[in-house]
Amino acid sequence: MLNSPSPAPSPSPGQGPEHRLDLERRQRLGMVEAVWGETKSAGQIAAIALRLHEAGELLLATRVSEEKALAVLEQVPELGLRHHPRARCLTSGRLPPEPPSGGGVAVLGGGTSDLGVASEACLALRCHGIRTNLLLDVGVAGLHRLLGQLEPLRQVEVLIACAGMEGALPTVLAGLLPQPVIGVPVSVGYGVSAGGMAALHGMLASCAPGLTVVNVDNGYGAAMAALRILRGAGAGGRP
C-alpha cells in the first residue's frame, strides 16, 4: 500500500499562496509594494502587514474603509498601524520625512469631491519621501482660482491633476505650465459622467501635448508615475 503523502507545511503569515509579496520592489524600482485593500479581508491585510514588518518594509494598503481598518488594527495592535481616513489607506512604520524645501509634486483637485483620490496620491508620495502640496478648488468652473496659483505652481517639478465631470483641469494645466502633468479622472459627476468615464475620455482626447493620464480614481498610479518622472530626472533620490 502506498504511503499517504505528508501534509504540506503551513505558509508563513502574509506569504501563503495568495500573498506572494514583492519584497524586492524597493531595490528593483525604488518603490514600496502597495497592497490593494478593497477586496482583501481584514485578516489578509493583517497577515500581509505582519510579513512586511518582519521584512523591515513599510505597509501601504489602499482602499481600506474605516470599518476594515479598525478590524486590522485589532488583529495586529503591536505594529502601530495608522489609518488615513481621507486617503482611505493604512500605513505602518515611520514615513520618510519630507524635504524641508524643493520642488516636489503639486496635487490639484477641481473640488473637495476629488479630495479622497488626491489624498491617496499625496500619501503614496509621502511613503517615498517626496514633498507634496495639495491644492483644491481650482477647477475650470472657477478658472480665476487656478490662474491665481500659476506662479507658485511653476516652482514644483510635477503636477497631478484630479478632476471629475468633464475632466478639463489637466488639459488647462498642460496648456499653461511646462512641467509634466498627470491627469487623474475622478468618478464624480451627474449621469453622463458615467462614473468617471467622461473625464477619462476627455483627458485621453486632450489636445494638450504630452499629458499623461491614469485610470479612473487611480491616485496611487498617478503618484508612482510622478515618482518615476522624478527619479528619471535625478530628483528625489532612492528611499
Q: Say yes or no: 88 and 124 in one domain.
A: no
Last residue of a domain, one of 38, 60, 92: 92
d(CA 130, CA 219): 15
Q: Which residues contact 50 (CB under 8 A, 6 or more apart)?
A: 13, 14, 76, 79
Measured CA distances, 111 to 34, 78, 186, 205 (Å): 26, 38, 11, 22
Q: Say yes or no: 54 and 132 in one domain.
A: no
**Is residue 10 in some structural domain?**
no
Strands 212-213 and 181-185: parallel
**Is residue 126 in some structural domain?**
yes
d(CA 134, CA 8): 50
Condensed to tens digits (0 to 9), the pLDDT of residues 81-109 reads: 999 999 999 998 788 887 776 779 999 99
- What is the per-residue pLDDT for 56? 87
Model confidence at 12: pLDDT above 60: no
Residue 18: band (very low, low, confident or very high) from pLDDT cuts 50, 70, 90: low
Domain count for the chain, please give it. Answer: 2
Q: Are 81 and 28 in contact (CB under 8 A)?
A: no
Q: Say yes or no: 62 and 165 in one domain.
A: no
Q: Say yes or no: 122 and 218 in one domain.
A: yes
Amino acid at 112: T
Q: Say yes or no: 162 and 195 in one domain.
A: yes
**Is residue 8 in some structural domain?**
no
- The mean per-residue pLDDT over the stretch 174-191 comes to 95
**Is residue 1 in some structural domain?**
no
Last residue of a domain, one of 42, 59, 92: 92
More confidently predicted of 28 and 10: 28
What residue numbers bound the domain in which 198 lies?
105-232
CA atoms within 13 A on the CB side of 208: 23
**Is residue 11 in some structural domain?**
no
Residue 220: band (very low, low, confident or very high) from pLDDT cuts 50, 70, 90: very high
For the entire predicted model, the pTM comes to 0.85
Q: Say yes or no: 74 and 155 in one domain.
A: no
Q: Say yes or no: 114 and 47 in one domain.
A: no
Strands 82-84 and 89-92: antiparallel
Last residue of a domain, one of 61, 92, 123: 92
Model confidence at 164: pLDDT above 60: yes
Q: Are 127 and 91 in contact (CB under 8 A)?
A: yes
Model confidence at 141: pLDDT above 60: yes
Q: Say yes or no: 71 and 122 in one domain.
A: no
**Is residue 129 in some structural domain?**
yes
Q: Say yes or no: 120 and 222 in one domain.
A: yes
From the CB of residue 232, how many other CB atoms can be counted at a distance below 10 Å? 10
Model confidence at 20: pLDDT above 90: no
Secondary structure in 3-state letters for 96-110: CCCCCCCCCEEEEEC
- What is the per-residue pLDDT for 235? 53
**Is residue 5 in some structural domain?**
no
Q: Say yes or no: 167 and 188 in one domain.
A: yes
Which residues on neighbouring strands pair with residue 48, listed in sequence order? Answer: none
Residue 150: band (very low, low, confident or very high) from pLDDT cuts 50, 70, 90: very high
